[in-house]
Amino acid sequence: AKILALSVVTAIMAYSWRDTFVAESLRGAKVLVTGASTGIGEQMAYHYASFGAQIIITARRENVLKKVAEKCLELGAQKALYVPGDMSNTTDPEKVVKFAVEALGGLDYLVLNHIGPSPFAMWDGDVEHVRWLMQVNFLSYLQMTSSALPHLEKTGGSIVVVSSMLGKMCTPFVGPYTATKFSLSGFFGTLQHELAMQRKNVTVTICVLGLIDTQSAMDKIKGYTSMKAYPATDAALHIIKAGATRQRESFYPLYTYFGSLFRDWFPFLRDLFIQNSYNYEP
């Protein structure tokens, strides 16, 4: 009971940063959001716009980005530009950061959010897909970070990494995806230590999300599970606040915090629960 009470207090403390968020701090902020043509990235673009930020958005589909950028201007963005980029291509990550820094005259936030499509299915042995997905979901994040860091150091800026409960806990049907998210946790966790030890005024926020109701996620899990999905717009706002208040790690919704905390306590029961929460007949 004492441990449970302590965990609840810790959770409340972990969430208390919500009160410290000052919307005004984002007015005029120079922000690059990846994967912003749809889903959580698109919603983040709209929130940053409403806060009066200067935004660059990127993804592959130029026609969709154009519409998102137009809506951002309507919502109050000081600037909203788009740059198409394919993160499976090893030269585009650097090109996109360069575009953002030149267009904005610097950078305050690098928000890494994009993911490449990956099947929701048992692994079929396709190593090439894993290699490709590692470039899109992981290595391109490193390339963009490497290009952006000198500029973020000048502004005391932040890197915001959108990750998942699947970067903390193993579940079926998502082998390649979960591998990329675990990689992000490992790499950016190390970077947090190194930036702090070098006394660099750049923060890294890792966001751990549960199931969110984006079209792509809903299409994938259809028929497999009836787990509750949380609104993309709330997830997006949560991520922005976590970045703006320079959190190390942030959880949305709250169950992801408890899941991370207790995941190794009863491994047998955990795995039984996970395997029984999907509809699957071999």
Alpha-carbon distance values, 273 to 40, 139, 181, 263, 276 (Å): 28, 32, 22, 12, 5
Is residue 37 part of the contact set for ligand NDP (CB under 6 A)?
yes
Asked if 64 touches ligand NDP (CB under 6 A), the answer is: yes
Residue 59: CB atoms within 10 A of its CB come to 26
- Alpha carbons within 13 A on the beta-carbon side of 92: 15
- Within 223-262, the residues that bind ligand NDP by CB under 6 A are none
Which residues 108-127 are close enough to bind ligand NDP by CB under 6 A? 113-116
Position among 71, 86, 233, 261 found at the interface with ligand NDP (CB under 6 A):
86
Under rule CB under 6 A, residue 157 binds ligand NDP: no
CA–CA distance, 148 with 140 (Å, rounded to integer): 12
| 193 is a contact residue toward ligand NDP (CB under 6 A) | no
Evaluate whether 279 touches 223 at the Cβ level (below 8 Å). yes
Rounded CA-CA distance 171/187 in Å is 21
Report the residue from 162, 179, 191, 240 that binds ligand NDP according to the rule CB under 6 A: 162
Q: How far is the CB of 197 from ligand NDP (least distance, A)?
A: 27
- Give the CA distances from residue 6 to residues 3, 21, 265, in Å, rounded to whole numbers and listed in that order: 5, 25, 16
| Binding piece for ligand NDP, criterion CB under 6 A, among 57-65, 119-127, 144-152, 243-251 | 57-65
Closest-CA residue to 60 (of 101, 93, 22): 93
Q: Which of 80, 133, 212, 242 binds ligand NDP (CB under 6 A)?
A: 212
Using CB positions, name the residue nearest to ligand NDP.
39
Task: Determine which one of 46, 109, 141, 177 is catalytic.
Answer: 177
177 is catalytic: yes
Identify which of 87, 189, 215, 59 has the alpha carbon closest to the alpha carbon of residue 147.
87
Site residues, ligand NDP (CB under 6 A): 35-41, 59-61, 64, 85-88, 113-116, 136, 162, 164, 209, 211-212, 214, 216-217
The residues that are catalytic are: 177
